[in-house]
Amino acid sequence: MIVGVASAPIQRAPAEPPALAWWDHQRRWLEDHSRLRVCCKARQIGMSTAVATEALHAAVYGETTVVVSASQRQASELLRKATQLLPLVTVAGGGALMVNRQSAEEIDLSTGGRLISLPSAAATVQGYTGHVVIDEAAWIPDMDRLWMAIVPTISTRSGYRLSVVSTPGPRAGMFHRLWNEADSSWSRHRVTIYDARAGGAPHDIEALRAAVADEATWRAAYECQFVDESHALLPYDLLLARVDETLSYHLNVTTLSEAGDLYAGYDVGRKHDLSVLVVLERVGEAYRWRGAVELRQAPFDEQFELLSSVLKVRGLRRLQIDQSGLGMQLAEELVRKHGSCVEPVTMTAPVKESLASLILSVFQRGLLRIPDHRPLIDDLHSVARSVTLSGNVRYAAPREAGSHADRWTALALALQAIDTGPSGKMEFIFGPPLKSAGLKPSHRHEPPPSLYALDSYDPPGTGW
């Protein structure tokens, strides 16, 4: 059980936050003056705005609030929301309040109060004293270490408050334990998308549901259900450890001329699935993310034009395209026009298992950094290992709401394009099929032990 310090309402000046039209769940949060608060929430329901407003309100009375976010981007976004609220603070103060200093991570008022918004590195929160808000706590790597750094921040005065806010993540880690094991000293808030809608939020739930990749993502992102990591090929902890906030998810073709050797993977979609292109650069023993392009319900001639424009880039060495089903004609036309630098791939069960083994190896070895793009991270996480009734091992992604792990497939094909020899045939095979043949890989990546350590190997079953 996680035990907190004795809970006592904070004695605050008899004033209310700046007048805004609050939804019910935001109002409940703002009116809750408990010292310890935890909120398990859906995405995009305005909690960051409530947190920013509360922090500014505290600053008006000379108090400091440190908001720790999962990434620099999220920290900057929260400070941006606070900046938008500053005119309301000025009006509420009758012109007596002034902004002494405003920077990329801090707003300092003339009262001596401050709002400080920081990314989650434990070192960044040390040395501060005041209220603390941990934003998106479930998605902060090494949360336990950060927790130990935060405790002194609120311990110097009984009036300082600790608030933990997040969408649910894996069924492990600090936020999961806090939500499920915290004692009665913690005030709990749970807000699903349905709760937010019932409380006045204008969300179109049907439109949101149609836009979300799969059922598991929907339940975690909008229904406040924690994620089962037991069968995920790429657990969230592994993916989050490989995030680089300086990378852009979207491809800028004009910058590719400056790159070295480029490789691409393309997953073909038409009416239901996304069409996704991923471009990587090989840099020594590692890979650099160059960007992705997504097309939804795009006609094949538009997809052909996109791929032809990328294939004309001087440094593009190879593009692998999924020619299964819908992709066959597109792949044939690309080969006819661009020749051997286009490699059609039929997604058989052994190929999918090799792709799974390859992408896991790359992430485990830290050879690729990915952008801080939640749809990409969720898509990479969506592929799971399962065993069929006949004992066959398969790697599958959920199919709900049109999802087909399209970003995962495009990235895996781009990685495989790098690991394809000059002959156009896969020279370096990973995973159980290689071991069962009594062979050893000749490429620099060792097959992931976690895949070799399967209880037994049978020929793979049907793919996703």
What are the DSSP calls for 102-120, one per residue? Answer: E-SSEEEETTS-EEEEEES
Question: Among 25, 100, 23, which Cα is nearest to 62's?
Answer: 100
Give the Cα separation of 401 and 212 in Å (integer): 7
Residue with tokens 């083994």: 357
pLDDT, position 49: 93
Helices 300-311 and 327-338 meet at what angle, rounded to 10? Answer: 40
Query: What is the Cα gyration radius of the chain?
Result: 25
Give the Cα separation of 303 and 362 in Å (integer): 28
Token couple for 342: 């286009």
In what helix (H) or strand (E) does residue 147 lie, and over which residues does it extend? helix 143-155
Q: Which residues of the chain have pLDDT under 50?
A: 1-18, 389, 400-403, 421-464
Q: What is the pLDDT of residues 275-293, one digit of tens each?
A: 999 999 999 989 999 999 9
pLDDT, position 214: 66
- Which SS3 state, helix, strand or coil, does residue 56 take? helix
Beta strands in 297-327 (DSSP E): 316-322
Say if CB 227 and CB 220 are below 8 A apart. Answer: yes
Report the DSSP beta bridge partners of residue 162.
36, 132
Report the DSSP beta bridge partners of residue 108.
101, 114
In what helix (H) or strand (E) does residue 78 lie, and over which residues does it extend? helix 72-92
Domains and CATH numbers, the chain: 24-222 (3.40.50.300), 236-452 (3.30.420.240)
The sheet that has 186-191: what strands, in order across it?
99-102, 106-109, 114-119, 64-69, 131-135, 162-166, 36-41, 186-191
- Which SS3 state, helix, strand or coil, does residue 368 take? strand
Report the DSSP beta bridge partners of residue 368.
287
Say if CB 320 and CB 268 are below 8 A apart. Answer: no
Say if CB 313 and CB 253 are below 8 A apart. Answer: yes
Helical H segments across 365-401, by residue range: 374-382
Give the Cα separation of 383 and 381 in Å (integer): 6
Question: Among 261, 304, 238, which Cα is nearest to 419's?
Answer: 261
pLDDT, position 38: 97
- β-pairing verdict for 162-166 and 131-135: parallel
Q: What is the pLDDT of residues 235-278, one digit of tens each?
A: 888 998 999 989 999 998 888 888 899 999 999 986 667 899 99
